[in-house]
């Protein structure tokens, strides 16, 4: 038998998926029975030990309606806890031999089309299944039924070929400006494209809804969104498909009242966005490990700033963007204080590293807060009318600028490195030598009491600062800080390898960057953390794209200036990136081991930097530049906590 | 009618209480009905808002037995959750007019003797009620019945007068060596004796059981014991009745295996005693506010060290004391570490102040840990056989001494004060001006997130260090540190005023000390915290005794040397203390406004210091010394958080 199946979840038809299913015997005619179903209240996969997996609910849906006729059926349910009504419907086109028969049945939790046919070689049974989906917290069951029926009718009318053609056209439009081509490692070429596609899929039809940490691919993290979205998912998405970034940020903006209320309840001003949420309320149960991670507010502001810089979308700025900048700036101003020496300190908060909590002056948090304060002041001062509407005066913006300029960054002069938060480098180092490989992830084997008070890092934290706020560090300082934290970072979080990849490449550890890039990109394809059944790790996949672009492409894009310091690991012979530079300007960069080629695809003029040299691109003539030989840096000590990094074998180049 | 009632809970008859109840009409004969009951499964008083009050259980006891005959009855129940069997029985002696009649009845939750009589002037109805009590997790109902019947028979045989006489003799023996006499403030004289009695009552018949934070006076704190016992209750109890101190510490020693197990589970060595417990297991639900308060281990060690110093009880040392010192020392050695400069740091723990959590190098914790390490080394080196039995060698004690000597004490050179923990003085100060009086206690009105990260102190913390580890500070430093923390300490805990009183007196704020002393002593008599219905605050009452002895008596007793710096507040004309000095040596000190009189009551010779002058007492001749005029210190700024301190009006002395 030859069975072929093609599936798509449409980017162009809202709430439509389709499957083309073909069955054909290779030798003799054979009777085939195909069951095409809608099933609900299925038992979810349960993770037995891992507290991070969501507790699956038993039968969370109550049936409101079920029915079927001819080749279609519909099930409507209401979620028991949250009272949302959910409709799912299917219709089919069946193309088979003359004896093909179909039977439809429908029960509260199951609808099924049974197709029987005697199929012979050369006369395949071809079934197209169209699935429509809709939900609402307000609309009635009949209204929802109409809506889903209509969507389904449109999809059936368009047909499989039409849906496929529209899907391809949509995606061609994306990849034309966002593809990442890798030569020399086919597995990673596939992985990075999988990553880019999954990132797009999680976000492209979000339509002012949150982007959950697992997208819609599994029950992990209870469907909640975290800082993952703004810090990891939106940056590469901004290059691929800016409208989805605007959607995601408009969703945040719609939750602003709840965030203001939470700030007030904490004795703060402005808005305090929740650490984890679906609707905008804080869903984190243990505040030191959740709500105290205020840096999410800076990630939101940073995403707004980046979006405005690339798109110049002034309507978004006026409707949502600037208010987000202002309310997060107000939060920081009230959360921090100027000490006796005038320095602006932010005490008692939790930074990115989840093996620390409630510390003073986390470097990443402080630098991102400073940038948030400055961005808000800049945005307001350019828009005096908006300033009045948002109630911001010159006194307030002056206070933001003063705080940003006086931000306190702790430094350990004896070690010559930045502590990730005040006092961190004085703590006892984790006893890596006595930690066997099977004791990772540490959170499942050691009490948080022990993790919190020692030098052990779950995920890039100070290294996040080196990447996201790189302009505050000299290259030498970056190299020292990176090497210091390498020894301590165990990557028990999936939000680590991608950032480490980008910074490793920058400071000269290109092969190490390659290893980290592979880990981030293969996390789900190879199920490296043994929890992909709970859903894929969208942030790590998005981060893998960033690792390729910012690590091997060497792109930095701060304050409107595009600069490149490209460098390839030994195994790769070519990296090519199509990039959205500014608004409608498009750039292609092709990196080979010893040279880089820059081509202005669309646009009048673009200034870029290549290893510090200013290049002005004005035509679509490719411009080539040599890549200087890599710094032959000693690789940093193999991190003792890094139990699971698989070294990639560099292919020998001819 | 004249009704008089006298009650006692016997110190000499185990598990016996008695009531003498007399009724007599003043004019005409009258019929009287008296009901004498045993009641169980009563509804407990519920605190509606305060999370600190225990959640009262509904009908926690299941009936095993009930019965009554003649003038007596017994109820036996088993606690539903913990499976303990509890027996309570009563018997009576009734002395009344000839028509006196009695009826006994008994139900599962109620036993009642009804007494009717026509009582005439001059012929009172006199009822003596004897109550016996027993419990066991192992003995059977019949065995428990026998035990309680026997105790009750003994009490009836002894009779009211006999019980009263034995009670008086026992207490005379206590107060002869432990009374605190105050002239000039009758209310505080009563209060401090109430305090001393309640402290004794909570502990004297503990018999190797825990001393709960509320004694047996109410359901608050679920019957759990905390560091209150060792840090606050045992020091004055050691002067009054040392056997009960040994009992309490032997109870701790019996829980050592659980404490060792908990240390292991935290990746530590030695023993980690629980923050709150009944049986020795950790019952604190939120570790940053509970289990991370390791200083309880130092309080236990300190109580052992004090007990051994005063009693020279070598049997206790061998059986329990030294092992407690050793296992707590091992805990500290594994909890802390030597940093690059060799300093011994203890990171990520919670100190006494419950408005801070998880900080590095809490000064009180570090100093008490250092003392613990040194005391263990001293105790072991004096007992080589015991050292071998406990597996301690010279390497280990050397490690303890090195850590103790290198203990890191943070200091804020710009302010000239000690931060209570590293970084504390850099934090933002609590906005006291915007905190209305009705918002105290703060924990009921502000999130812990906000309290933890700011300079606001629930209870003496650094000031605890000034008192318990005073030898580490110069007098000038004490004055500066005390003044600094006065502004910040809101006394939302009942464990604060007594320590502040002792240190205020020492640094020269004698009138302020008097205010704090009054608050500690009157806490329950005046229900200052509106929660005495949940049970009395034993630690505050014990602390009031300490405030009188160490504050106005000015006694310091470190390393075997008794020194006095007595000073009276304006309202008091005399303070007299009977003190247990060493083993069998007894001392009396009488303080008047301008002189102190020391008398050796029992013993051959005693060296004491009076304002630094060495005095050797060898006879029972009183020795008088002048008290130098008090430092006329400016009182510290009225603490802005101190919303409830009632200033006592100093009486004008003639």
Q: Is the pLDDT of residue B205 over 80?
A: yes
- Residue B188: name the closest of B566, B515, B507 by CA: B515
Band (pLDDT 50/70/90 cuts) for residue B54 is very low
Share of chain A above pLDDT 90, in %: 84
Rounded CA gap, B160 and B512, in Å?
45
Residue B593 burial (CB count, 10 A): 15
Mutate one of B264, B425, B449, B452 to test the A interface: name it (highest A CB count within 10 A): B449
Supply the mean pLDDT for chain A: 92
Asked if B575 and B552 touch (Cβ cutoff 8 Å), the reply is yes
Q: What local confidence, expressed as pLDDT, does residue B629 receive? A: 87
Residues in A touching B452 (Cβ below 8 Å): 348, 358
3-state DSSP assignment of residue A627: coil
Rounded CA gap, A506 and B141, in Å?
77
* Between A86 and A437, residue with greater pLDDT: A86
- Angle (nearest 5°) at CA B92 between B87 and B94: 170
Place of tokens 């646009």: A603
Describe chain B by its helix, strand, coil percentages, rounded to 5. 40, 25, 40
HSE-up of A368 (CA within 13 Å, CB side)? 30
Q: B154 and chain A: CB distance < 8 Å anywhere? A: no
Rounded CA gap, B144 and B85, in Å?
8
Asked if A567 and A627 touch (Cβ cutoff 8 Å), the reply is yes
Rounded CA gap, B298 and B364, in Å?
10
Helices (H), B437-572: 448-452, 462-468, 475-486, 497-507, 510-522, 538-546
SS3 per-residue string spanning B227-284: CHHHHHHHHHHHHHCHHHHHHHHHHHHHCHHHHHHHHHHCCCCCCCCCCCECCCCCCC
Which of A340, A347, A360 lies closest to B414 in CB terms?
Answer: A340
Q: Is the pLDDT of residue B393 over 70?
A: yes
Query: Tokens in use for B249?
Result: 């510490």
Residue B645 burial (CB count, 10 A): 17
* Between B188 and A14, residue with greater pLDDT: B188
pLDDT tens, residue by residue, B419-464: 999 999 999 999 998 999 889 999 999 999 999 999 999 999 999 9
Which residues of B are identified as catalytic? Answer: 354
Long-range contacts of A521-525 (CB under 8 A, 24+ apart): A521/A188, A521/A191, A521/A192, A521/A194, A521/A195, A521/A547, A522/A187, A522/A188, A522/A191, A523/A494, A523/A497, A524/A198, A525/A190, A525/A191, A525/A194
CA nearest to A423 within chain B: B360
For A520, residues 6+ apart whose C-beta sits below 8 A from its C-beta are A195, A494, A497, A498, A501, A540, A541, A543, A544, A547
Band (pLDDT 50/70/90 cuts) for residue A60 is confident
Return left, alpha or beta for B534; rule: phi > 0 is left, psi -120 to 50 is alpha, else beta. alpha
Q: Is the pLDDT of residue A56 over 90?
A: no
Burial class (CB in 10 A: 0-12, 13-18, 19+), B138: exposed
Q: B559 and chain A: CB distance < 8 Å anywhere? A: no
Q: At what angle do helices B538-546 and B510-522 cross, to 10 degrees?
A: 150
Asked if B3 and B23 touch (Cβ cutoff 8 Å), the reply is yes
Rounded CA gap, A483 and A636, in Å?
6
Q: B604 and chain A: CB distance < 8 Å anywhere? A: no
CB pairs under 8 A between A and B: 81
- Residue A229: name the closest of A256, A248, A250 by CA: A248
Rounded CA gap, A577 and A254, in Å?
34
Q: B449 and chain A: CB distance < 8 Å anywhere? A: yes
- Angle (nearest 5°) at CA B60 between B289 and B494: 35
Gap between the terminal Cα atoms of chain A: 44
Rounded CA gap, B571 and B650, in Å?
4
User: Would you call A348 and B288 a contact, using CB atoms and an 8 Å cutoff?
Assistant: no
CA distances from B640 to B447, B484, B637 (A): 19, 12, 8
State the DSSP code for B96.
Answer: -
pLDDT tens, residue by residue, A610-637: 999 999 999 889 999 999 987 666 665 5
Query: Tokens in use for A210?
Result: 């949150």
Of A52-61, A400-409, A517-526, B607-616, which range is least confident?
Answer: A52-61
Q: Is the pLDDT of residue B28 over 90?
A: yes
Q: What local confidence, expressed as pLDDT, does residue A637 receive? A: 54
Asked if B261 and B274 touch (Cβ cutoff 8 Å), the reply is no
Band (pLDDT 50/70/90 cuts) for residue A290 is confident
Band (pLDDT 50/70/90 cuts) for residue B559 is confident
Q: Is the pLDDT of residue A604 over 60?
A: yes
Rounded CA gap, A564 and A50, in Å?
41
Q: Is the pLDDT of residue B243 over 90?
A: yes
DSSP string, A272-337: ---SSBSSSS---SSGGGTTT-THHHHHHHHHHHHHHHHH--HHHIIIIIHHHHHHHHHHHHHH-E
pLDDT tens, residue by residue, B521-558: 999 999 988 899 999 999 999 999 999 999 999 999 88
Which of A349, A426, A447 lies closest to B345 in CB terms?
Answer: A426
pLDDT tens, residue by residue, A559-568: 778 999 999 9
Q: Which residues pair with A600 in a beta bridge?
A: A587
Q: What's the order of all strands across the beta sheet hosting B101-107?
A: B30-39, B110-119, B101-107
Asked if A610 and A591 touch (Cβ cutoff 8 Å), the reply is no
Describe chain A by its helix, strand, coil percentages, rounded to 5. 40, 25, 40
Range B383-404 average pLDDT: 97
Band (pLDDT 50/70/90 cuts) for residue A240 is very high
Active site residue A354: yes
Q: B454 and chain A: CB distance < 8 Å anywhere? A: yes
Q: A616 and chain B: CB distance < 8 Å anywhere? A: no
Q: What local confidence, expressed as pLDDT, does residue A241 receive? A: 93
- Angle (nearest 5°) at CA A576 between A570 and A582: 135
Which of A423, A452, A453 lies closest to B422 in CB terms?
Answer: A423
Asked if B428 and A347 touch (Cβ cutoff 8 Å), the reply is yes
- Residue A300: name the closest of A360, A234, A349 by CA: A234
CA nearest to A428 within chain B: B337
Asked if A95 and A107 touch (Cβ cutoff 8 Å), the reply is no
Burial class (CB in 10 A: 0-12, 13-18, 19+), B530: exposed
């Amino acid at each position: 038998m030859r069975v072929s199946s093609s599936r798509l979840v449409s980017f162009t038809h809202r709430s439509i998926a389709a499957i083309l299913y073909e069955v054909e015997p290779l030798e003799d005619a054979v009777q085939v029975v195909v069951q095409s179903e809608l099933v609900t209240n299925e038992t979810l996969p349960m993770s037995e030990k891992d507290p991070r997996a969501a507790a699956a609910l038993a039968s969370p849906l109550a049936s409101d309606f079920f029915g079927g006729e001819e080749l279609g059926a519909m099930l409507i349910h209401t979620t028991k806890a949250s009272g949302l009504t959910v409709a799912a419907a299917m219709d089919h086109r069946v193309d088979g031999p003359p004896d093909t028969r179909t039977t439809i049945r429908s029960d509260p939790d199951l609808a099924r089309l049974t197709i029987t046919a005697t199929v012979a070689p050369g006369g395949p049974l071809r079934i197209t299944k169209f699935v429509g989906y809709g939900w609402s917290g307000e609309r009635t069951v009949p209204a929802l039924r109409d809506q889903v029926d209509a969507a389904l009718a449109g999809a059936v009318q368009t047909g499989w070929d039409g849906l496929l053609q529209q899907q391809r056209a949509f995606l061609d439009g994306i990849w034309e400006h966002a593809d990442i081509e890798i030569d020399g490692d086919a597995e990673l070429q596939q992985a990075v494209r999988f990553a880019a596609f999954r990132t797009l899929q999680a976000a492209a039809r979000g339509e002012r809804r949150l982007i959950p940490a697992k997208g819609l691919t599994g029950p992990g993290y209870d469907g909640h969104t975290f800082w993952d979205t703004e810090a990891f998912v939106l940056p590469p998405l901004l290059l691929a498909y800016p409208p989805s970034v605007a959607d995601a940020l408009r969703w945040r903006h719609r939750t602003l009242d709840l965030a203001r209320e939470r700030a007030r309840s904490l004795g703060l001003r402005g808005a305090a966005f929740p650490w984890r949420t679906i609707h905008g309320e804080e869903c984190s149960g243990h505040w030191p490990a959740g709500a105290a991670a205020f840096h999410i507010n800076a990630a939101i502001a940073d995403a707004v700033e980046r979006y405005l810089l690339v798109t110049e979308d002034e309507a978004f700025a006026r409707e949502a963007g600037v208010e987000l900048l202002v309310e997060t700036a107000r939060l920081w101003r009230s959360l921090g204080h100027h000490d006796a020496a005038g320095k602006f300190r932010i005490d008692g908060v939790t930074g990115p590293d989840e093996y620390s909590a409630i510390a003073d002056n986390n470097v990443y948090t402080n630098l991102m807060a400073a940038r948030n304060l400055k961005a808000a002041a800049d945005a307001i001062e350019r828009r005096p009318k908006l300033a009045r509407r948002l109630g911001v005066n010159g006194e307030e913006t002056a206070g933001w600028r003063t705080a940003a300029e006086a931000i306190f960054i702790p430094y350990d002069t004896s070690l010559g490195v930045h502590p990730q938060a005040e006092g961190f480098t004085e703590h006892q180092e984790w006893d890596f030598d006595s930690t066997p490989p099977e004791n990772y992830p540490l959170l499942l084997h050691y009490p948080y009491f022990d993790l919190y008070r020692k030098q052990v890092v779950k995920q890039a934290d100070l290294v996040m600062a080196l990447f996201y706020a790189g302009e505050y560090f000299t290259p030498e300082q970056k190299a020292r800080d990176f090497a210091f934290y390498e020894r301590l970072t165990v990557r028990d979080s999936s939000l680590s390898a991608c950032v480490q990849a980008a910074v490793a490449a920058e400071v000269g550890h290109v092969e190490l960057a390659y290893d980290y890039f592979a880990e981030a990109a293969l996390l789900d394809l190879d199920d490296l953390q043994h929890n992909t059944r709970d859903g894929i790790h969208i942030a790590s996949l998005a981060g893998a794209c960033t690792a390729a672009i910012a690590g091997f492409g060497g792109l930095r894009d701060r304050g409107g200036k595009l600069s490149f310091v490209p460098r390839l690991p030994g195994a790769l012979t070519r990296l090519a990136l199509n990039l959205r530079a500014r608004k409608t300007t498009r750039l292609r960069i092709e990196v080979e081991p010893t040279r880089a080629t820059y081509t202005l695809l669309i646009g009048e003029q673009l200034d870029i930097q290549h290893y510090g040299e200013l290049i002005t691109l004005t035509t679509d003539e490719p411009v080539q530049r040599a890549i200087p030989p890599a710094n032959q840096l000693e690789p940093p000590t193999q991190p003792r906590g890094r139990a699971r990094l698989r070294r990639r074998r560099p292919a020998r180049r001819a």
